[in-house]
Amino acid sequence: MTSLPCQSLALSLADRAAAVYRNDSAAVLVEAAVDRKEGKLSAEGAFVTNTGVFTGRSAKDKYVVRDEHTDKLVWWDNTAALTPEQFDVLRADIEASLSGRELFVQDLFAGADPAHQFNVSVFTPSAWHALFIRNLLIRPARNGLDGFAPDVTIVHNPDFVADPARHGTRSGTVIALDFSRNIVLVGGTAYAGEIKKSVFSLFNFHAPAEGVLPMHCSANMGKEGDSALFFGLSGTGKTTLSTDPNRTLVGDDEHGWSDTGVFNLEGGCYAKAIDLSPRAEPEIYAATRRFGTVLENVGIDPDSRELDYADRSRTENTRAAYPLYIMDNVSRTGTAPAPANIVLLTCDAFGVLPPIARLTPDQAVYHFLSGYTAKVAGTERGVTEPEATFSACFGAPFMSLHPTVYGRMLKKRIKESLSECWLINTGWTGGAYGVGKRISIADTRALLDAALSGQLVNAPARLDPVFGFSVPLAVPGVEPALLDPRESWDDKEAYDRQSARLVGLFEANFEKFEAADAQIAEAGPRLAVAAE
């Protein structure tokens, strides 16, 4: 990937700045951030900051330039557009807003596989944002920047306010991506995840042309070199389950799958920190107490500087950003063989899905395109009962191309690698949320361990009459009654009604994909069967 316009922009920004602090270390950036009062140090040494009004992504403020290159490729049903002219005005105005200011610049790599790697330069007036992206992307070795020229330039100014009339935006906040020139502009938000996810959106656009499947998933590897992928929306356990003391973590969030295997796009983790405990998630907990880690919106005592992981006063979406190398059981290459197992995670608050099921390749692609989980009452304002959420490819906001492009690639990769595919429900059993109980982490880990070890491949199983997948009859260390959700409900007719309701939601959601692949559509659940 090469983009001369993005290189020119990088030179222009540097020339117009009052000072440029390039590729400072974590220690230097922490000192600068504290000195500039961008945050404070915790008692253990992590850097704690407040992202202000925005404590999460502004999905409705993301735009892609619609030009001759992107017009026929981008999934426009999911993406707002800017004209090249609007983008150029926006770029000039953001560049002018940074003129004469001190800039922190980080030159980094995205993609652990050198064959599919691109150079990223990030410009920001904020020291802590520079530290954040230094933690999250891949840091070059000391001599690794010789001859470095950016393939991608990201310009970030949280103080900039866009003008909807002038720039074609919805509000004063903007995340604008030009896929043809590989330039990203982020303004009006201090939420650092926008920078990270912009890199992923670029990767999602360019990678398929190189035969690489981009994936919003975590990955780990067993002692025998058997790798596993974990897909799942927020709250399903993706980070928790992939961070396993008995397996090597390859990456936390974003990966590519090429002809030679799986590789991490990043060099760090961006983990949720709300209610973090040393018992349930010891590795992540320890990482949040290291010098150089960035903690976003985590509660902190103003005097003792002790952290309060239960503090929700700013948001439920508290975050920790730290480099992978501070963890003990982590891959030093960020690469792994093609996966032996693919795990699709869901948190089913309806209490319908079994805690584990084995999927055929077509079923795996169906559930990949569906990207189902369920919010529960109390997690968001206005949610009073379980609410289904479908996010294509388990990451619709970042899917630059139509989801079926990635679905077809996944189907091809599964066929070539003979990967085993599993659906794991970390949600409720014995009833829906409010009636049943949450499946324990201990039971989920036992089910996952059995799946990854190969014990369940030829184990006795039943065929679910509604969803069509295979459900094991017994798993070591797990009560057999847990494996059949209908039997765990006191009111079987209520279960049947709830099952029919969920199937209807699946079918309605999948209508937009049905025409693209009838065979995949047939692999989904059927409302007629559920009604019977």
Q: Would you report the helix, strand and coil content of the chain in percent, each value rounded to 5?
A: 35, 25, 40
**Does residue 9 sit in helix, strand or coil?**
helix
Amino acid (1-letter code) at residue 405: V
Residue for token digits 């379980």? 386
Catalytic (active-site) positions: 57, 197, 216, 234, 238-239, 253, 319
Cα distance between residue 296 and residue 273, in whole Å: 9
Sign of the torsion angle spanned by Cα atoms 447, 274, 249, 120: positive
**Does residue 18 sit in helix, strand or coil?**
coil
Q: Which residues contact 101 (CB under 8 A, 6 or more apart)?
A: 17, 18, 125
Other C-beta atoms lying within 10 Å of the C-beta of residue 53? 10
Amino acid (1-letter code) at residue 204: N
Cα distance between residue 355 and residue 439, in whole Å: 8
Q: List residues bridging with 320 in a β-sheet.
A: 271, 295
Cα distance between residue 519 and residue 523, in whole Å: 7
Sign of the torsion angle spanned by Cα atoms 342, 276, 135, 95: positive
**DSSP letter, residue 111:** -
Other C-beta atoms lying within 10 Å of the C-beta of residue 97? 16
Residue 39 in tokens: 């945050």
What are 504-507's contacts with CB under 8 Å, separation 24+?
A: 504/530, 505/388, 505/390, 506/370, 506/372
Dihedrals phi, psi of 342, to nearest 5 degrees? -120, 125
Q: DSSP readout, 447-465?
A: HHHHHHHTTTSSS-EEE-T
Select from 343, 359, 341, 350 the least CA-distant residue to 506: 350
Contact predicate 355/438, CB 8 Å: no
Cα distance between residue 320 and residue 419, in whole Å: 32
